[in-house]
Amino acid sequence: MTFHLLGPVEVRAGGNTLDIGGPKSRTVLAALLLAEGRVVSDTTLSEMLWGDNPPATSPTQIQTYVSRLRRLLGEDTPIVRRRPGYLMRLPAGLLDLTEFERLAADGRAALAAGSFHDAREKLTAALALWRGPAMSGVTEHLIHLEGPRLEEARLAVTLDRLDADLALGRHAEIVSELTGLVAQYPLREQLYARLMTALRLCGRQAEALELYHRCRRTLATELGVDPGDELRGLHQRILVGTRQPARPTRAPLGQLPPGLADFVGREPEVARLTEALRPGDGPRPVCVITGMAGIGKTALAVHAAHGLAPQYPDGQLYADLRGTGERPARPVDVLVRLLECLGVPTARPSDGLDRLSALYRSRLTGRRTLLLLDDAADAHQVRPLLPGAPGCAVLVTSRAPLAALAGARAVHPGCLPPDRSTELLGRIIGHHRTAAEEEAARRIAELCGGLPLALRIAGGLLASRPERPLDRLADRLADDHRLLDALRLPGLQLRPRLEDSYRALDPGARRALRLLSLPEEPRFSLWTAAVLLDLPLAVARELVERLLDARLLQVTTGPSAGQDRFSFHRVVRAFARERAVEADPEERGAALERVLRAWQDEQDGTEAVA
């Protein structure tokens, strides 16, 4: 049994094409195949099937499509339920997309090594796997999400194969093909460059020069920009009569913020990011660092990006998306800034998202560039900023899980353990101080809950007052009512960041945050949440899930399977209680009374049974 995405979505067995079903069944199968053994969440499947307007019955319908596919494929190709979605693992060699990527990687390696005949053979074989536009027969939503990436990969391999042809002296044979490609992709400067080179090598300099002027007019009319350095340099070389093609050196972009000199820990997370974002010839990798406010997402991303920088010689781009602020950055505005960095100073928001995104991806084709997108609001904000072709990598930070960002790998940094928390404090204020007041340093680390931002603020407070004993700050931090007031430095506070997360919640989730913080018991069950909120268990579960997604609540393993417990980080609980005080006091009292009465009823029932 073989699977095919590079053209109509098909499954073949014994020389026959199996009946997969309609577009939605094909979409579910294609989504699982695209994930290449990774879990595709129910949320992602829903978006690929129905876009932003899924029906109320979407979970049931997804289960129906999966059941049909399971019956069709049999036990040899299982689709496995793995929360929060499904995954499908295939043996090597059964999916045309992975074969395409393997042949493309081998071909590029041969091209880099100067084995042009071998490179052309492998790259031609890779392109021969395509039978038409990728994933024909699926929903328009999946085509919109994943189609451009696959078509960009196809074009990138085509460009590499054309380079092999030029190196082998086959310039005359590819003029016709390149002419057709330029007509198909009139905004792709790389195609103009190769056709100009082929024409020049054929002795057709006048046509090559006319082609350059046609390209310049097209870019000016459609995008309001001039040709890039590569094409202008080639035009100049043709004018002066040289026949030696050479690409001008591009100055690498270096936009990463400076890393923290006192960065501590995170070795497992850095290792996972480094492995996942290593350059390759497959689809451009995307990693999302997600976690609560103050957990150190940006610090981790910047640290990992600096370590990866040598592997991306064409540079590193950085954009602050302001996703947790009141006015997140618009993708069109971010694209304009990125294009300016890439040599397109005339781009404007009025050019439109689709046109700017196409130009941006065109500029990045053939480059090995690392893109850091900091503080993303959601997947919709990120998608237009993703490069299309292989060679680039993307690192995103977000408080939201971004589950709808197909193919992205998630990294979830947690709070620092006590020893690393104390080490971070020592790096900020000096290890001599933490060694001299070891117990107080441990108390501060514990009271900050291992939250890096809280530790940095505490360290800053101590560093500004070297004469202050550590235990004095520890005593202030021990007071829950003064915790957020104590953790304040000029320009660096926890409360505004928590307010951003709170503001993003709907009214029901805000009420849940306030009331769930009231009991003195630090951990609570879903049953307790339902009693506190005076809501059915299913509704309480939905509100708890929203708080988990907002990274305002944590889940811990319960006493037995299926009995998870939930808790707030200490700083979140302090913030939630501040908000609870501002709410209706009668509502607070009623919530606590319900819990006490329920606990008493439960205790009375236990004693009666005994």
Residue ranges, the chain, pLDDT below 70:
113-114, 241-252, 281-282, 345, 557-563, 582-584, 598-610
The full set of domain ranges for the chain reads 1-167, 253-325+365-411, 418-493, 499-609
β-strand pairing of 286-290 with 393-398: parallel
Question: Is there a contact between 164 and 120 (Cβ–Cβ < 8 Å)?
Answer: yes
pLDDT value, residue 490: 76
pLDDT value, residue 244: 43
Reading the block at residue 410, the tokens are 């998630």
pLDDT value, residue 247: 40
pLDDT value, residue 599: 66
Question: Is there a contact between 253 and 316 (Cβ–Cβ < 8 Å)?
Answer: yes
CA distance 153 to 171: 23
pLDDT value, residue 191: 92
Question: Is there a contact between 407 and 39 (Cβ–Cβ < 8 Å)?
Answer: no
pLDDT value, residue 449: 92
pLDDT value, residue 500: 87
- CATH superfamily for 253-325+365-411 is P-loop containing nucleotide triphosphate hydrolases (3.40.50.300)
The CATH topology of domain 1-167 is Arc Repressor Mutant, subunit A (1.10.10)
- In the three-class reduction of DSSP (H, G, I as helix; E, B as strand; rest coil), residue 392 is classed as coil
Looking at 3.40.47.10, 1.10.10.10, 3.90.180.10, 3.40.50.12280, the CATH number of the domain 499-609 comes to 1.10.10.10
What's the per-residue H, E or C state across 171-220? HHHHHHHHHHHHHHCCCCHHHHHHHHHHHHHCCCHHHHHHHHHHHHHHHH
pLDDT value, residue 113: 67
pLDDT value, residue 584: 67
- Asked if domains 1-167 and 499-609 share a fold, the reply is yes
Question: Is there a contact between 87 and 38 (Cβ–Cβ < 8 Å)?
Answer: yes
According to DSSP, the residues that pair with 11 across neighbouring strands are: 3
CA distance 85 to 522: 31
Q: From residue 370, give the alpha-carbon distance in Å to each of 67, 145, 188, 321, 393.
A: 40, 21, 21, 16, 5
Please enumerate in sequence order all residues whose Cβ is within 8 A of that of 339, keeping only pairs 6 or more positions apart, or say none. 347, 356, 359, 360, 363
pLDDT value, residue 246: 40
Where do runs of H (alpha helix) occur along 53-95?
Answer: 58-73
- In the three-class reduction of DSSP (H, G, I as helix; E, B as strand; rest coil), residue 277 is classed as coil
Q: From residue 544, give the alpha-carbon distance in Å to each of 43, 106, 164, 512.
A: 17, 48, 57, 8
pTM above 0.85, yes or no: no
CA distance 368 to 381: 23
CA distance 525 to 529: 6
